[in-house]
Amino acid sequence: MEDRLKMKFLLTLSFVLFCFAGPCHADVNGGSTCAACDVVLGLVEQTSAIHNESLVKALERICNYLPDDFQKSCKVFLEYIGPILITIVEDRDTPDVICSKLGLCTAETGPQCTLFPLKPGTKLHHYSQDPVLVQKTKHLDMPKVGVKICDFPGIKEICNWIDDIFSNHEPAVDLDGDKHSPYETLRGYSWRGKDCDDRLTGVHPGARTINDDINMDSNCNGVKGLDPTTQMPYEKVLCEGSEPRGIAVLGDSISAHFHLPREWFNATELSTAVFEGLPYIGENELDWPAFSYATGFMNATDTLRKVIHGPTDSVYLRMWERNRCNFRDYQNIAVNGARSGAMADTIEKSLYRNKTGDYPLIVYYALVGNDVCNGHPDTINHMTKPDEMKENALKTLAFLDSMLPMGSYVFLTGLADGRVLYNSLKDRIHPIGALRNDVTYAHFYDYFNCLEISPCTGWMNTNQTLRDLTTQRANELSAVLEKIANTSAGNYKNFKLWYNENPINKVIDEWTAQGKQAWELLEPVDGFHSNQLGNVQVARAIWQEMEQQWPEVLGKVNPNNDKIRAIFGDQGGYR
């Protein structure tokens, strides 16, 4: 446990970067190792230019920005790579040239993929092709051809640690097995309402009260005990008849709110301050569920405010505002890269609801892109087909019917139209090119496609036909979900079932109609997800749609909200 809680080094930067946000294809042309090399050396080279110092000094400077544990690993890496860089790097070498010399970027499928513009006359080659370099590096432990980023000294152990976190989607700390945790990260209360007693399975957010919560707070909503004047239980007086309910999302990185700080990828913004939140961010899989449109509940702390920008709004927060008895009743069951198949096979099983012991749940099934997103060059043939989508969704619905309390609600959410990404970002500069304005998103997308590590080759592509075909498949899959909702709703006894359009495109349309720019709602580093501002807009849009079309889902406004606030204050807070 102790080791798992220690996050080190830059999260091996690009290695986790994109492959964990989407399903990653096998490495080609150096793949994620090449991307990691180019991005890290890009930051190092730019830092050296800013401070007029050597590459090794600049890498040391960046290591020193990192929190203690990470710093140690970074320096182990520095000790290894430092002498190599000093020996092989020549004056005009750009990061791509250096990564090629090291053998981390290769050229198996055509010309080498390059992140930065090559200087005229530059040749890319492995160090072994240069007799002078072979001679000079004789005494050095040069990386072997085909080495992976995780094989490097200082990075190896971090990779194991990361694998551990990213492969487990259940709370690391949960003694009573109700999937609610008293611990914050590692799928704890960042993701699902905090467990106020981790020894009793029947005590957790969303539980029906035990003995009217006279003695203990069985649903962790902060309401318990007796009114001293009337001797009536507060749960009875303030919550009974208010029809409490929780909200859960079965989703992907959009719902988990994947967010890589821009400040980590912009050499002009690197500092100690921007890395302070690294342990928290890593232990949440680079996701920000506590700030997300579905289950967000907090505004950024002083530390996190340096790397996430804007306030939080969510469907959960509005459910709580509507009925304060709903406090802490949220579950974010979203996993980066999740497709409908993985959801039906494994991910959904980490949802927790006791059919008779808990209140009803509103569930959003929101797999909004990965079924059409992959990094394969032959991307179309690796997308989910309509009949597979149907099978997967029906499997999940059967599962939900077997475990949700009667009176629950399920929404099948359509896929997004990712064409907006390319159209709004293509000519803009990616943070990694901020210093010299030399890397556009259009180029950045192609670079990832060249390495076959794009989170979404279909949409993040300069080929318009491919982008259109990807949208066509997305529309076909949405149609499958809509049809299920329209024809099968009567098959389920524990929930009502509806289809809702994906909100993001509507949000962007409304936003641009006001004369604002679509990119303002998008994540700058990955060029793929909605950012904090986008999440706030999505929460509002979903809520408005529910108010207009499905008001019964939201439940009543609790007339006792003010009393609850007066008596129980922040209801115990979230921490």
Query: Could you give the string, one character per residue 466-505, with x where binding to Ca ion holds by CB under 5 A and - elsewhere?
Result: ----------------------------------------
Q: Note whether 43 and 193 are within 8 A (CB).
A: no
Candidate residues 27, 38, 96, 174; the one interacting with Ca ion per rule CB under 5 A: 174
- Residue 170 in contact with Ca ion, rule: CB under 5 A: no
User: Would you please indicate which residues are annotated as catalytic (active-site) residues?
Assistant: 253
Residue 69 touches Ca ion, criterion: CB under 5 A: no
Taking the least distance from each CB to Ca ion, the nearer of 187 and 224 is 224
Distance of closest approach, residue 254 Cβ to Ca ion, in angstroms = 27
- How many chain residues touch Ca ion (CB under 5 A)? 12
CB under 5 A: which stretch of 13-21, 170-178, 283-291, 398-406 binds Ca ion?
170-178
Nearer Cβ to Ca ion (227/391): 227
Judged by CB under 5 A, the stretch of 166-174, 501-509, 522-530, 553-561 that binds Ca ion is 166-174
Interface of this chain with Ca ion, residues 95 to 124, rule: CB under 5 A: none
The token pair that represents 517 in the structure block: 């720019």
Closest separation in Å from C-beta 284 to Ca ion: 18
In the complex, the smallest distance separating the C-beta of residue 469 from Ca ion, rounded to whole angstroms, is 45
- Could you say whether residue 197 binds Ca ion (CB under 5 A)? no
The answer to whether 294 touches 316, Cβ cutoff 8 Å, is: yes
Q: CB 219 → Ca ion: shortest distance, Å?
A: 5
- Exactly one of 176, 391, 446, 476 binds Ca ion (CB under 5 A); that residue is 176
Of residues 349-388, which lie at the interface with Ca ion (CB under 5 A)? none
Which of 355, 300, 324 is CA-nearest to residue 220?
324
β-pairing, 246-251 vs 361-366, is parallel
Edge-to-edge order in the sheet of strand 246-251: 330-334, 246-251, 361-366, 408-413, 495-500
Of 130 and 170, nearer to Ca ion (C-beta) is 170
Q: Answer yes or no whether residue 219 interacts with Ca ion by CB under 5 A.
A: yes
**Which residue stretch of 43-51, 210-218, 248-256, 545-553 sits at the interface with Ca ion (rule: CB under 5 A)?**
210-218
- Rule CB under 5 A: say whether 329 interacts with Ca ion: no
**Residue range at the interface with Ca ion (CB under 5 A); choices 123-131, 144-152, 187-195, 562-570:** 187-195
Identified binder of Ca ion from the candidate list 27, 45, 217, 313, rule CB under 5 A: 217
Q: Which is nearer to Ca ion, 187 or 322 (CB)?
A: 187
- Tokens standing for 119? 């200087």
180 binds Ca ion (CB under 5 A): yes
- By the 8 A CB rule, do 348 and 435 touch? no
How large is the greatest C-alpha to C-alpha distance in the chain, in angstroms?
A: 92
Residue 412 main-chain phi, psi, to 5 deg: -95, 115
**Closer CB to Ca ion, 195 or 358, in the complex:** 195
Q: Of 140 and 172, which has the nearer Cβ to Ca ion?
A: 172
Reduced to 3 states (helix: H, G, I; strand: E, B; else coil), residue 340 is helix
The yes or no reply on residue 564 touching Ca ion (CB under 5 A) is no
What is the rounded radius of gyration, in angstroms, for the C-alpha atoms of the chain?
A: 25
Stretch that binds Ca ion, among 222-230, 341-349, 422-430, 525-533 (CB under 5 A): 222-230
C-alpha angle with apex 543: 560 to 359, nearest 5 degrees? 55
Q: Is 52 left (phi over 0), alpha (psi -120 to 50) or beta?
A: left
Amino acid, single-letter form, for residue 362 = I
227 CB-contact burial (10 Å; exposed 0-12 / middle 13-18 / buried 19+): middle
Question: How far separated are the first and last CA of the chain, in Å rounded?
Answer: 21
We find the least distance from the C-beta atom of residue 392 to Ca ion, in angstroms, to be 29
Q: Which two structure tokens, joined as six digits, stand for 495?
A: 């929930």
Q: Report the nearest approach of Ca ion to the CB of residue 209 (Å).
A: 6
DSSP class of residue 432? G
Secondary structure of 188-230 in HEC code, one letter for each residue: CCCCECCCCCCCCCCCCCCECCCHHHCCCCCCCCCCCCECCCC
Q: Does 213 bind Ca ion (CB under 5 A)?
A: yes
Cβ count within 10 A of residue 563: 15
* CB of 198 or CB of 452, closer to Ca ion: 198
User: How far, in Å, CA of 393 to CA of 413, rounded?
Assistant: 11
- Tell me: does residue 221 bind Ca ion (CB under 5 A): yes
CB nearer to Ca ion: pick between 244 and 418: 244
Q: Which of 45, 93, 178, 329 binds Ca ion (CB under 5 A)?
A: 178
CB of 401 to Ca ion, least distance (A): 25
Smallest distance from Ca ion to CB 560, Å: 13
Helix (H) or strand (E) holding 330: strand 330-334
Report the candidate in 183, 176, 178, 149 with the shortest Cα–Cα distance to residue 4.
183
Q: CB under 5 A: which stretch of 124-132, 215-223, 340-348, 464-472 binds Ca ion?
A: 215-223
Closest CB 561 distance from Ca ion, rounded Å:
15
- Our CB check for Ca ion shows the closer of 213 and 371 to be 213
Cα separations (Å) of 278 from 31, 166, 335?
24, 15, 19
Binding site for Ca ion (CB under 5 A): 174, 176, 178, 180, 195, 198, 213, 217, 219, 221, 223-224
